[in-house]
Structure 1
């Protein structure tokens, strides 16, 4: 086994690394993952055992964080959308809490943009190829199967996106993304049928971005270190992984409309 390329660095040293899908989750605080206007009718609802909901003013869109620190995936972030307030889900996206937080941020930012024209949450006209076009431009491989799936793998083979383009009779997700080997991923995300392709495109664009991610050495997973490229090092940054950090002024409950 090759030596750890980060051994010579202080654990508190901040580095900028690529590829993104192997960088580890980063600072999983709500400020970073949820760019919602909580001072403008969006509602934040802490619940039991560290769970936290973010709910739109119309109560048709919500996101949920459930921490499970003793599990391999450390918990789950989930986006859910209904056609009527608190109704049956039209579609949903669960992410492992080990998903890089920058990817979560970019999906939620796109979600907020879609929410500005709420019909786009249910009737997205984005072509499927936009969900993976950027990955092809970044050197990801492409394999099409006759079972109705196509798979895009990262250049080093430790990350991927799978698209079910033939939906007839399918009960699985329309899109699936992961970091690491598919048989034992470091993180996973599942986009159910009905999920706007715009959100998939935002996720894959963030996934394949060449903008390095900031991490402290101590927060980079040991099992991915040999596959990371260090872009730059920087001074010590604020500590990472504080998933229960709430926005400074959480609105009171009971104001949903």
Structure 2
């Protein structure tokens, strides 16, 4: 097992790190997670404390954050869509509040793109998405994730470091079981989990997996990184510090490029 590259750094030292799935949640910032045009037609409900909620003008789409500081996941981010305003959700996506904020941003950015595309065309991709599932998992294979197929209609993809996974139920028959599930950390005590219900657009899953394996580093302070997995992080660059620059060699991230969507 590699040594911890952060032992000698000030806890407030900010660095750029990879891989994203082990970097920790980062700041819980609604403006980062939700790239919606609130100055135009989207609504934001944000009390001083407690849950926050964003809704589309058509009221068929909403996304929210419910903080639970005392729970292992620290709360829940939820995206839901319904065909009729105020009806039960047609599909739903949930993330632990400990999920890296960059993953949330990229999924919500794709969500807004889908919404605008539907709004200005005769398509309804929020409910009838035609993106093939392999667009979500092929990038994982290109980045060296392992692949295992079960006879029960489930396939698993695991990160090269063994500390991340994606499960796809490709033969799902009931709407009560998530079609896609992702997690990071040790399986017995994951740092975060994400669930995409039956009917959730594969386009959003593809945006999630592309962000998950992105080689663009994320900024974190040493104190923000999950301690039990941080020795598996690669230091891309130091950005700010309260002490002298790092004297130890800087590790390079794994080689390779990431296929992804062009915005």
TM-score, normalized by the shorter chain, greater than 0.5: yes
CA drift of 1:3 comes to 4.9
Task: Name 1:229's counterpart in structure 2.
Answer: 234
- 1:7-26, aligned counterparts within 5 Å? 7-26=7-26
Q: Which residue of 2 aligns with 1:161?
A: 166
| 8 Å CA contact retained: 2:175, 2:197 | no
In structure 2, do the counterparts of structure 1 residues 170 and 51 end up closer, same or farther at CA, with 3 Å as the change threshold? closer
How many residues are paired up?
237
Larger relative contact order (CA 8 Å, sep ≥ 6): 1
Secondary structure in 2 aligned to 1:107?
Answer: helix
Separation in structure 1 between the aligned mates of residue 86 and residue 190 of structure 2, nearest angstrom: 32
Shift of 1:46: 2.4
Q: Which residue of 163, 171, 177 corresponds with 1:172? A: 177
* Correspondence 1:80-95 to 2 at 5 A: 80-95=80-95
Counterpart contact for 2:43–2:55, Cα < 8 Å = yes
Please state how far the C-alpha of 1:199 moved relative to its aligned partner.
Answer: 0.1
Gaps of 5+ in 2: 119-123, 243-263
Aligned runs of 1:197-208 on 2, under 5 Å? 197-208=202-213
SS in 2 for 1:132: helix
Aligned partner of 2:146 among 136, 141, 145: 141
Q: Deviations over 1:203-254 (max 9, x none)?
A: 00000111111101111111111111111111159xxxxxxxxxxxxxxxxx
CA distance in 1, matches of 2:178, 2:186: 18
Secondary structure of the 1:72 match is coil
SS at match of 1:222: coil
Contact 1:47 1:53 in 2 (8 A): no
Distance 1:67 1:232, change over 3 A: same
TM-score by length of 2: 0.87
Cα distance in structure 2, aligned partners of 1:230 and 1:133: 26
Partner residue in 2 for 1:97: 97
Q: Which runs of 5+ in 1 are unaligned?
A: 238-257
State the Cα distance separating 1:184 from its structure 2 match.
2.1
1:113-132 correspondence runs (5 A): 113-118=113-118, 119-132=124-137
TM-score (norm 1): 0.88
SS of the aligned residue for 2:70 comes to coil
Runs of 4+ in 1 over 4 A off after TM superposition: none
Q: What is the CA RMSD across the aligned residues, in angstroms?
A: 1.6
